[in-house]
Chains A and B, each alone.
Chain A
């Protein structure tokens, strides 16, 4: 296990279509996070899982977004009825726990372009 894997790396979709992204965290990490990043901005928190439980969801996240982590391992992020404003880099991160020196390990991200 060499890190956090995200698939696909790039996705181009037409407005109104649904898209799903996958994240495979580091296997020993029980915490998984989804972030969204647009050009020139810092990552924006979307949601957080501890094992299979979704413990936090950003108030900024519309009901078109849903995330799952069914077995506490990989996670999926689905966006329904995509809009042009959804175009961004979607980053997944994992960590073993919060505490001293346990930063997030980010994946390379999925770049979504909605046309």
Chain B
């Protein structure tokens, strides 16, 4: 079945540094969603991208969908301690929904 791979698995950054996580698929994706899960919490929906080459911004977060719709990235500018958590990408093809393995972000104050 379709798999969505995420890198890196872990990332430690100093507060104020930037952070990027990447999501890659071997097949073309119909869409890509991004979620954030705080430690001990549940995934919270951030955004959905559907168009080839799409770029969306939410304050310090920038989301991109690749031209071939096989990859996506989430970039956080000037991280804060509130950004701590695991970031997941997810995509569906038909009724099958797949989550990536996640990138766990630690922000060092």
Alpha-carbon distance between A45 and B3 when the two chains are bound, in angstroms: 12
Q: Are A108 and B95 in contact (CB under 8 A)?
A: no
Q: Are A48 and B47 in contact (CB under 8 A)?
A: no
| Known contacts A98-B92, A103-B33, A103-B45, A33 near B97 by CB under 8 Å | yes
* A contact residues, total (Cβ < 8 Å): 25
* B contact residues, total (Cβ < 8 Å): 25
Q: Indicate the member of A42, A56, A107 with the most B CB atoms within 10 Å.
A: A42
Answer yes or no: A62 CB below 8 A from chain B CBs. Answer: no
When distances are taken between beta carbons in the complex, the residues of chain B under 8 Å from A106 are 42-44
Q: Are B42 and A108 in contact (CB under 8 A)?
A: yes
Instruction: For A6, give the chain B residue with the smallest CB separation.
Output: B42
Alpha-carbon distance between A106 and B33 when the two chains are bound, in angstroms: 14
| Known contacts A91-B43, A109-B42, A45 near B88 by CB under 8 Å | no
Alpha-carbon distance between A80 and B90 when the two chains are bound, in angstroms: 29
Please encode chain A, from 32 to 76, with 1 for each CB lying within 8 Å of some chain B CB and 0 for all others: 010100001111110010000001100100000000000000000
Answer yes or no: B100 CB below 8 A from chain A CBs. Answer: yes
When distances are taken between beta carbons in the complex, the residues of chain B under 8 Å from A108 are 41-42
Q: Are B92 and A44 in contact (CB under 8 A)?
A: no
Give chain B's interface residues, CB within 8 Å of chain A.
Answer: 1, 31, 33, 35, 41-48, 50, 88, 90, 92, 94-102
Give chain A's interface residues, CB within 8 Å of chain B.
Answer: 33, 35, 40-45, 48, 55-56, 59, 91, 93, 98, 100-109
10 interchain pairs (CB within 8 A)?
A41-B102, A42-B88, A42-B90, A43-B90, A48-B97, A56-B95, A91-B42, A91-B43, A100-B48, A107-B42
